[in-house]
Structure 1
Amino acid sequence: MAYATLDDLKGRLDWTLDPDEERIATSALEDASDLAAHYGRNWPEESAPRMVRTLVLKACKRYMANPEGYTQSRAGDETLAWSDAAGENAGTVYFTREEQELLAGLAGRNPGLHSVGVSAWQSVRRPVAVGLVPVDTPGSAADPFPMYSDEVGPW
């Protein structure tokens, strides 16, 4: 399963892939698609959001352009450097933190504070006149007295 094709990736690269690079690119597309399903959800290929395809291609292009994950290279002294920002992902197909959050949002998994109503098992809610206080008048049936400003909420 891949959310993007090799031809899609070739269209984003600045060079023509040789047969060995095509094999690596195909594997990178599969890896990026697996990661997209992990951080988002397992969308069917034909109904995945376009942004998933875009993110998969972006991660694959990043990998194909710099497969070793170098951040600095000097020819004179043969200095090579990797960034701690990529960490263990240097030299692999990966999604940045922002891309991971975007995939989670596309899947409907938005972190945050949520409110959930809680009730006892097999309890029955009884309709209550919100904001009304019963009036007990000897010998007559009086209407409840409005204690709050409206009947929708107490405040």
Structure 2
Amino acid sequence: MANFATLDELKARLDWTLDADEERIATSALEDASDLASFHAGRDWPDGASAPRLVRTLVLKACKRYMDNPSGYTQSRAGDETLGWNDSQGEDAGTVHFTAEEQKLLAEIGGRKPGLYSVQVSAWNSVRRPVAAGLVPVAQPTPDSKPFPLFADEVEPW
């Protein structure tokens, strides 16, 4: 699986210079975000260059969000050193993740459109036969069987 963004592209979006340990974490974050992007899109591109540009943008955005706050803090104070977490981000707090809107975008990029679809359902190995209005096909047809009349009037069955 290919990474959709490079470490240099992520470094350009960050406000500080990464040390060796942060570079290792950023590289792992790029791998995780690329894997998640492929999952949410429902497809995999052979390399980062063949993926749509928006995929790279979303991967970089998720990685920057993670690198800015790797522990998932929601509150921080310098005086008395108060740190806080809450459940607003749930299990995604402190991890590389895509927001619900980003997940929808990735699904659409991958060709997965949400919605309601209607499909025709038929039994295995069945054959559809045209039947005149007001008549129902017989369950076990024989060569001399005729459709069963459902309505009293064939001219106006409804």
Alpha-carbon distance in 2 for matches of 1:43, 1:37: 8
User: Which ranges of 4 or more aligned residues in structure 1 deviate by more than 2 Å?
Assistant: 117-129
Select which of 53, 66, 76 maps to 2:69. Answer: 66
TM value normalised by structure 2: 0.74
**Aligned residues with identical type, % of pairs:** 75
- Structure 2 stretches of 5 or more lacking a match? 133-154
Counterpart amino acid of residue 27 in structure 2: T
Alpha-carbon distance in 1 for matches of 2:88, 2:98: 12
Q: What does residue 23 of structure 1 align with? A: 24
Alpha-carbon distance in 1 for matches of 2:93, 2:123: 51
Task: Give the alignment's Cα RMSD to 1 decimal.
Answer: 2.6
Counterpart amino acid of residue 99 in structure 2: T
Matched, 1:83 2:90: no
Q: What does residue 12 of structure 2 align with? A: 11
Query: 1:6-155 alignment to 2 at 5 Å?
Result: 6-40=7-41, 41-45=43-47, 46-124=49-127
TM value normalised by structure 1: 0.75
**How far off is 1:90 after superposition?**
1.1
- Structure 1 stretches of 5 or more lacking a match? 130-144, 148-155
Alpha-carbon distance in 1 for matches of 2:111, 2:100: 17
